[in-house]
C-alpha cells in the first residue's frame, strides 16, 4: 500500500504522531521519542495491555531488519496513555491526552478507541486540537451496526472504517454517515508487548493505517494544515461504494502524496 511511497524516499520524516491509547511498550522495532500518562494508576506510558503498541507499529514500526515496517517509520512517535492495562479509561483522561498532544504541537493523533456517546469535555478537546492544528484520526467502532463511536463521530475527527483484504466491509466495522475513510483492519500484523508481534483485527487497526498516511502527507507538505491533510486523504481515497460503510473510500498513500 505504501511501498511505492517508501521507494520514492518518503518515510514520514519530520511529521509527528501521537498514539492516544494504552501506551507504547519498549520494542526493538519502535522508537518512541516522548509521551505522557494520564492514567492515575499507571504513571508511565509503558504499555501493559498491548493495544497501543500494536497501533504504534502500524504507524511507525522501524524500517530495519526485524519484524514489520510501519506506514511512516521515520515519523516522530509519541505515547499518550489514556487507557489502563485492561484497555478501559475515562473520557476526561482521553480529553486530557488529546489536549496534551495539541499543546505539544503534534501533527497527527491516532485514537483507536471510542464510546457510544460523546461528552462536552471530549468535544471541547477535539475542538481544541483543531484550533491548535492537530489532526485527529479515530476508529469508527466495532459494533458491526449503524452508529459511529465518539470521538470518531465528531465532524472535526476523521472516522476510519475497516475493510478486509478483499476491500469488503469488515463484519465488525461500525457504519454511518460520519465515516470519512476506510483502511485495512483484519488480521493486521504488528508489534506487541514483550517484544512480540501479533495479528489483531478491528477498526483500531484501520485507524493507524490512515494516521500513517497522514504523516506521509505531512512530511511531503510540511506547511499543510490539519484540515488540508484530512481533505487530501479523503479526496484521494479509492471509492468502494456505500459511503456509510467506507466514507470516501480506501486510503491511498501514493495518490495522497501525489497531491
For the annotated catalytic residues, the residue numbers are 21, 51, 204
- What angle, 0 to 180 degrees and rounded to 10, lies between the N-to-C axes of helices 226-235 and 120-132? 100
Q: Do residues 31 and 168 lie in contact, with contact meaning Cβ atoms separated by under 8 Å?
A: no
Q: Do residues 59 and 17 lie in contact, with contact meaning Cβ atoms separated by under 8 Å?
A: yes
238 φ/ψ angles, rounded to the nearest 5 degrees: -90, 115
- Which residues face 175 on adjacent strands? 146
Least Cα distance to 211 among 150, 132, 157, 147 occurs for: 157
Q: Which residues, 6+ apart, have CB-to-CB distance to 97 below 8 Å?
A: 18, 20, 36, 38, 80, 81, 82
Q: Count the helix, strand and coil residues of the chain and give each as a percent rounded to the nearest 5.
A: 30, 20, 50
The three three-digit cell numbers of residue 109, written as one number: 493523533
Amino acid at each position: 500500500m505504501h511501498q511505492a511511497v517508501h521507494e520514492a524516499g518518503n518515510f514520514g520524516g519530520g511529521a509527528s504522531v501521537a498514539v492516544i491509547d494504552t501506551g507504547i511498550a519498549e520494542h526493538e522495532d519502535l522508537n518512541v521519542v516522548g509521551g505522557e500518562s494520564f492514567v492515575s494508576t499507571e504513571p508511565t506510558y509503558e504499555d501493559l495491555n498491548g493495544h497501543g503498541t500494536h497501533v504504534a507499529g502500524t504507524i511507525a514500526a522501524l524500517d530495519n531488519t526485524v519484524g514489520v515496517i510501519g506506514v511512516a517509520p521515520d515519523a516522530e512517535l509519541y505515547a499518550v496513555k489514556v487507557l489502563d492495562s485492561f484497555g478501559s479509561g475515562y473520557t476526561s483522561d482521553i480529553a486530557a491526552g488529546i489536549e496534551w498532544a495539541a499543546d505539544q504541537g503534534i501533527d497527527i493523533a491516532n485514537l483507536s478507541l471510542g464510546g457510544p456517546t460523546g461528552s462536552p469535555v471530549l468535544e471541547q478537546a477535539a475542538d481544541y486540537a483543531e484550533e491548535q492544528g492537530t489532526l485527529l484520526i479515530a476508529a469508527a467502532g466495532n459494533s458491526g451496526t449503524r452508529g459511529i463511536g465518539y470521538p470518531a463521530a465528531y465532524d472535526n475527527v476523521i472516522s476510519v472504517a475497516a475493510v478486509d483484504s478483499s476491500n469488503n466491509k469488515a463484519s465488525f466495522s461500525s457504519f454511518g454517515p460520519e465515516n470519512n475513510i476506510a483502511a485495512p483492519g483484519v488480521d493486521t500484523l504488528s508489534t506487541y508487548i514483550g517484544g512480540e508481534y501479533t495479528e489483531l483485527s478491528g477498526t483500531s487497526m484501520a485507524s493507524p493505517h490512515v494516521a500513517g498516511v497522514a504523516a506521509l502527507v505531512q512530511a511531503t507538505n510540511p506547511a499543510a494544515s490539519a484540515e488540508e491533510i484530512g481533505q487530501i486523504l479523503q479526496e484521494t481515497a479509492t471509492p468502494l461504494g456505500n459511503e456509510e460503510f467506507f466514507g470516501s473510500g480506501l486510503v491511498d498513500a501514493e495518490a495522497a502524496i501525489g497531491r
